[in-house]
Structure 1
Amino acid sequence: MKFVEFKIKGMTCDHCAQTIANQFKGKEGIVNKDISYPSGSGKFEYDPEKISKDEIAGLIDSTGHYKVAGEAESEGNEKTSFDLVIIGGGSAAFSAAIKAESMGLSTLMVNDGLDFGGTCVNVGCVPSKNLIRAGETVYHASHSNFTGINPKAVDVDFAKVIQDKKKLVASLQEKKYMDVVRGFENLTMLKGWATFKDHKTIQVEGKEYKGLKFLIATGATTMIPEINGLNDVPYLTNVSLFDLEEQPKSMVVLGGGYIALEIAQAYHRLGTKVTLLQRSKNVLSKLTSDISDELLKHLRAEGMEIHTGLSFERVTEENNSIRVLAKVSGENRVFEAEKLVVATGTKPNTSQLAIENADLKLTSTGHIAVNEKMETNQSHIYAAGDVANTPAYVYTAAFEGKTAVENAFSGTDSSADYSSLPWVVFTDPQVTGAGLDETEAKYKGIPYEVSKLELKDVPRALAANDMKGFIKLIRNPETDKLLGARIVAPEGGELIHQLSMAIKYGITVNDLAESFYPYLTLGEGIKLAAITFNKDVSKLSCCAS
Structure 2
Amino acid sequence: MNQSFDALIIGAGQAGPPLAGRLTAAGWTVALVERQDFGGTCVNTGCTPTKALIASAKAAYTLRQAADYGLPPVGDFAVDLAPVQARKDAIVAASRDGIENWLTHMPGCTVFRGTARFVSATAMQVGDDVLEAKHIFLNVGSRPASPPLPGIGQVPHLTSSSILALKELPTHLVIVGAGAVGLEFGQMFRRLGAQVTIMERSPRLLPHDDEDVAAAVHEILTNEGITLRLGVECISLGQEDGQPVVRVNCKQDASPSRGSHLLLAMGRQPNTDDLALEKAGLRADARGFILVDEQLQTAVPGIWALGDCNGRGAFTHTAYNDFEIVAANLLDHDPRRVSDRLPASAIYIDPPFAKVGLTEAEVRAAGTPALVGRRPMTKVGRAVEKGETQGFMKVLVHAETDQILGASIVGVGGDEAIHCIITAMYARQTAAFMRRNVFIHPTVAELIPTVFGELKPLAATPEQ
Q: Confirm or deny a common fold (TM above 0.5).
A: yes
> Of 21, 39, 42, which residue of structure 2 is paired with 1:117?
39
Partner of 2:191: 269
For residues 310 and 193 of structure 1, the distance between their equivalents in structure 2, rounded to whole angstroms, comes to: 39
Q: 1:349 to 1:138 in 2, by over 3 A?
A: same
Partner of 2:461: none
RCO greater where, 1 or 2, for CA within 8 Å and sep 6 or more?
2
Q: 1:313 to 1:403 in 2, by over 3 A?
A: closer
Partner of 1:526: 448
Partner of 2:235: 313
What's the CA shift string for 1:141-175, capped at 9, x where partnerless?
00258374453134523111111211111111112
> Of 463, 478, 486, which residue of structure 1 is paired with 2:408?
486
Residues 227-266 of structure 1: matches in 2 within 5 Å? Answer: 227-266=149-188
SS for the counterpart of 2:402 is: coil
The amino acid of 1:440's aligned partner reads E
SS for the counterpart of 2:375 is: strand
SS for the counterpart of 2:153 is: helix
Partner of 1:464: 386
What's the CA shift string for 1:222-266, capped at 9, x where partnerless?
112211101211111121111111222121111111111111111
SS for the counterpart of 1:347 is: strand
Cα shift at 1:394? 0.9
Q: Is the 8 A contact 1:422 1:496 kept in 2?
A: no
For residues 278 and 73 of structure 2, the distance between their equivalents in structure 1, rounded to whole angstroms, comes to: 60
For residues 298 and 145 of structure 1, the distance between their equivalents in structure 2, rounded to whole angstroms, comes to: 20
For residues 151 and 421 of structure 1, the distance between their equivalents in structure 2, rounded to whole angstroms, comes to: 43
Q: Is the 8 A contact 2:420 2:445 kept in 1?
A: no
Partner of 2:298: 376
Q: Is the 8 A contact 1:215 1:404 kept in 2?
A: no
Is the counterpart of residue 185 in structure 1 residue 107 in structure 2? yes
The amino acid of 1:96's aligned partner reads L
Cα shift at 1:395? 1.9
Cα shift at 1:415? 2.3
User: Could you tell me the percent identity over the aligned residues?
Assistant: 28
Q: Is the 8 A contact 1:145 1:465 kept in 2?
A: no
Partner of 1:94: 17
Partner of 2:427: 505
Which sits farther off after the overlay, 513-522 or 365-374?
A: 513-522
For residues 265 and 74 of structure 2, the distance between their equivalents in structure 1, rounded to whole angstroms, comes to: 33
Q: 1:421 to 1:294 in 2, by over 3 A?
A: same
The amino acid of 1:118's aligned partner reads G
Residues 59-98 of structure 1: matches in 2 within 5 Å? Answer: 74=1, 80-98=3-21
The amino acid of 2:74's aligned partner reads K
Residues 138-287 of structure 1: matches in 2 within 5 Å? Answer: 138-144=60-66, 146=68, 148-153=70-75, 154-175=77-98, 177-287=99-209
The amino acid of 2:435's aligned partner reads A
The amino acid of 1:131's aligned partner reads L
Cα shift at 1:84? 0.8
Q: 1:504 to 1:402 in 2, by over 3 A?
A: closer
What's the CA shift string for 1:33-71, capped at 9, x where partnerless?
xxxxxxxxxxxxxxxxxxxxxxxxxxxxxxxxxxxxxxx
Residues 377-416 of structure 1: matches in 2 within 5 Å? Answer: 377-408=299-330, 412-416=334-338
Partner of 1:437: 359
Cα shift at 1:418? 4.9
The CA RMSD over aligned residues, in Å, is 2.0
Cα shift at 1:210? 1.4
Partner of 1:29: none
Q: Is the 8 A contact 2:38 2:97 kept in 1?
A: no
Residues 437-456 of structure 1: matches in 2 within 5 Å? Answer: 437-456=359-378
For residues 337 and 509 of structure 1, the distance between their equivalents in structure 2, rounded to whole angstroms, comes to: 49
Partner of 1:57: none
For residues 154 and 78 of structure 2, the distance between their equivalents in structure 1, rounded to whole angstroms, comes to: 36
Which sits farther off after the overlay, 276-285 or 130-139?
A: 276-285
Q: Is the 8 A contact 1:430 1:488 kept in 2?
A: yes
The amino acid of 1:416's aligned partner reads V
Which sits farther off after the overlay, 142-151 or 263-272?
A: 142-151
The amino acid of 2:7's aligned partner reads L
SS for the counterpart of 2:440 is: coil
TM-score normalised over the length of structure 2: 0.93
> Of 250, 260, 263, which residue of structure 2 is paired with 1:338?
260
The amino acid of 1:108's aligned partner reads A
Partner of 2:347: 425
The amino acid of 1:382's aligned partner reads W
For residues 424 and 367 of structure 1, the distance between their equivalents in structure 2, rounded to whole angstroms, comes to: 23
For residues 91 and 290 of structure 1, the distance between their equivalents in structure 2, rounded to whole angstroms, comes to: 33
Which sits farther off after the overlay, 231-240 or 436-445?
A: 436-445
- Give the gaps of 5 or more residues in structure 1: 1-73, 536-545
SS for the counterpart of 1:232 is: coil
The amino acid of 1:94's aligned partner reads P
SS for the counterpart of 2:167 is: coil
Q: Is the 8 A contact 1:87 1:111 kept in 2?
A: yes
Partner of 1:106: 29
What's the CA shift string for 1:401-434, capped at 9, x where partnerless?
2432443466542323454343211101210011
For residues 238 and 104 of structure 1, the distance between their equivalents in structure 2, rounded to whole angstroms, comes to: 39
The amino acid of 1:81's aligned partner reads S
For residues 48 and 362 of structure 2, the distance between their equivalents in structure 1, rounded to whole angstroms, comes to: 31
Cα shift at 1:271? 0.8
The amino acid of 2:158's aligned partner reads L
Aligned length: 456
Cα shift at 1:495? 0.4
Partner of 1:64: none
Partner of 2:462: none
Partner of 1:58: none
